[in-house]
Amino acid sequence: MKLLGLIGGVSPEATAIYYRLLTDAARERLGALHSANLMLYALDYGVMIGHYDHRNWDAFIAEVVKGAKHLEAAGVDGLIICSNTTHVAADAVRDAVDLPLIHMLDVLAGEMKAKGAQRPLLLGTPVVMAEAHYRNELAKRYDGDVLIPSEEEQAVVGRVILDELVLGDIRDASRDELLAIIGRHKADGVILGCTELCMILGAEHCDIPVFDTTGLHAAAAARFAFGED
């Protein structure tokens, strides 16, 4: 198994899910006593959310690049950024280090094409839903019509992620709110465009395809680590 470098901590809840999924992948391939071969550079969520709140993207990206450089110096074979929002730094990371980066949106776009989704609803942090970067990067890889929640709905999704899920607080009432938002849109799939959303939503909750970016990304990282891609 190649040595994976994880840039995580944004939030710690999501990073723990990556570790579990990658360890599960190692056990499936190598046996129950094995675990994932990885190194983690955990960003301080308190620092990063401060940069996020102030839209200080230069400082935000600089922290991610610093993590990538540390992991490169430590000898990892490839990188993953364990956060949708934090992929705003993906191009800067690729410019800064000489390592493969397994990009979440490459994986997401491939899965949506495979499932034939043309009108998926994007759920994520307010930046992912409302600002152009994430959707522009996705449009380079996928030609479907991505639907965006209303401003009021975005506020609900943002609250669930940033006030609850990043703290490990999973509420049935909040799941019901998210499902109501999904039900109001004529979508043929729903993108869980925040790595914490898989904590509260899954395929078992919806009657349309659910594109869990955390699970898809971790699976792609495992395929890379085992030389399967």
What lies within 8 Å, CB to CB, of 7 at 6+ separation is 41, 43, 64, 67, 68, 71, 79, 80, 81, 82, 86, 93
Residue from 192, 195, 123, 131 nearest 165 by CA:
195
Average pLDDT over residues 173-177: 98
Crossing angle for the helix pair 172-183 and 151-159, nearest 10 degrees? 150
Residues found in the chain: 229
One domain, residues 98 and 13: yes
One domain, residues 207 and 220: no
Average pLDDT over residues 219-224: 98
**C-alpha torsion 57→41→192→53, nearest 10:** -30
One domain, residues 166 and 115: yes
Whole-model pTM?
0.96
Per-residue pLDDT of 17-44, as tens digits, reads 999 999 999 999 999 999 999 999 999 9
One domain, residues 70 and 25: yes
One domain, residues 89 and 44: yes
**C-alpha torsion 71→20→229→39, nearest 10:** 10
Show the domain range for 64.
Answer: 4-103+216-225
The radius of gyration of the chain's CA atoms, rounded to the nearest angstrom, is 17
One domain, residues 140 and 65: no
One domain, residues 49 and 137: no
How many separate domains does the chain show? Answer: 2
One domain, residues 174 and 187: yes
Per-residue pLDDT of 101-137, as tens digits, reads 999 999 999 999 999 999 999 999 999 999 999 999 9
One domain, residues 125 and 95: no
One domain, residues 196 and 156: yes
**CATH number of domain containing 61:** 3.40.50.1860
